[in-house]
Amino acid sequence: MEQIPPTYRKLIATVHGKNYRNISRIVEVPLELPGAGELLVRNHYAGINASDINLTSGAYGNLPSLPMDLGVEAVGEVVAIGEGVEGWQPGDAIAYLSPGAYGEYNRINARVGYHLPRPSKEALPLVASAMTAAVGLNHVGDMGDTDLVLVTGAAGGTGQFAVQLAKLAGNHVIALCGGEDKAAMLRSLGADRVINYHHESLDQILSQEYPKGVDLIYECIGGEVFDICLEHIGFRGRLLIVGYISEYLGEPDSVLAPRVYTKLLWKSASIRGFIASAYPRATRDETERLIKLWQNQQLISKVDTTPFEGVEAIPDALDHLYGGRSLGKVIVNFPVIAN
């Protein structure tokens, strides 16, 4: 059995805000054994999300209480189990979605864990990024098997899975990205039409090549991209608001334009915002399905190759994501600390 150290390091927020460097600090705290129904996990990898700053700034509702444990998704190894826990043993590989993932260890409710064959970094995006894509497309977007699907931010953590899941369902997929390396990745994942906005206009391509409009739009960018998507939504089309990363760091844009219902009513179209956690039953079912697809090599998980190591690297990793340089899911590695 792995020796459990007396203390560990984690990243917490001490004030509210969006700048991780300003609002967070590393603390070393006692490492407590798991209570009833809990697991103690040594984290191997944690996932970086654009929405991290929305959690600390209160963008999703009420401001969180402080201090706040940061990070929401990780892959690691179970090192101790609490009373009443069944189905887990020390040494088991685990993926989970729970607060406190930006730490060397984490105590979690056993019910939020998913079994893995090994603690692989490629498995990490399945529990949040891929799950969000699956819930959005299948349970909010009512995706069929003959839809024309547009994915914006398609080379990112969740977009890459939206592309693949839409293709697996039998649909024609348009993928929007910035950069030829990202475009090449998306072609390898099966996208039918890749639009590299560094060289092509999304508006022009949709007008010229898809004049009847798009059935289902998985929209992650916001701003002008959202406006273009709205213009090109098809009859009975659905525009999913997955996020709006273009406005996360600042304040929401003030827009003077015709009200949105003028774009929707005559097409019987709809805009559907969603947070995956609002669909708890679907999240469990979809995540278990996604892990099986990944194990069977029917789903590919692309992770960014830029190395980030340790709790102290988390702000750098978030800057990397917001700098538009990432290719796939951005991940922080937690090296094993000698006892």
Backbone torsion region of residue 192, taken as left when φ is above 0, otherwise alpha when ψ lies between -120 and 50, otherwise beta? alpha
| CA nearest neighbour of 154 among 211, 97, 219 | 219
pLDDT computed for residue 166 by the predictor: 98
* Cα distance between residue 152 and residue 172, in whole Å: 14
**Domains of the chain (ranges plus CATH)?**
7-119+304-333 (3.90.180.10), 129-277 (3.40.50.720)
Contact 13, 70 (CB under 8 A): yes
Displacement of CA 203 from its chain's centroid (Å)? 26
Specify the DSSP element, H or E, that contains 25: strand 24-30
pLDDT computed for residue 249 by the predictor: 83
Q: What is the pLDDT along the chain (339 residues), one digit of tens a residue?
A: 578 999 999 999 999 999 999 999 999 999 999 999 999 999 999 999 999 999 998 888 778 899 999 999 999 999 999 999 999 999 999 999 999 999 999 999 999 999 999 999 999 999 999 999 999 999 999 999 999 999 999 999 999 999 999 999 999 999 999 999 999 999 999 999 999 999 999 999 999 999 999 999 999 999 999 999 999 999 999 999 999 998 888 777 788 888 999 999 999 999 999 999 899 989 999 999 999 999 999 999 999 999 999 999 999 999 999 998 899 999 999 987 654
Q: In this structure, is the dihedral angle defined by the CA atoms of residues 11, 101, 80 and 121, taken in order, positive or negative?
A: negative
Those residues whose C-beta lies under 8 Å from the C-beta of residue 254, and which sit 6 or more positions away, are: none
Find the distance separating the first CA and the last CA of the chain, reported in whole Å.
13
pLDDT computed for residue 337 by the predictor: 62
pLDDT computed for residue 1 by the predictor: 56
The pairing of strands 38-47 and 105-109 is: antiparallel
Give the long-range contacts of residues 138-142, CB within 8 A, separation 24 or more: 138/165, 138/282, 138/286, 139/279, 139/282, 139/286, 140/240, 140/272, 140/274, 140/279, 141/216, 141/218, 141/238, 141/240, 141/272, 142/216, 142/238
At 188, the amino acid letter reads: S
Could you check whether the bond before residue 90 is cis, i.e. omega within 30 degrees of 0? no
* Cα distance between residue 308 and residue 315, in whole Å: 10
pLDDT computed for residue 286 by the predictor: 97
pLDDT computed for residue 13 by the predictor: 96
Neighbours of 299 (CB within 10 A): 21
pLDDT computed for residue 2 by the predictor: 72
SS3 77: strand
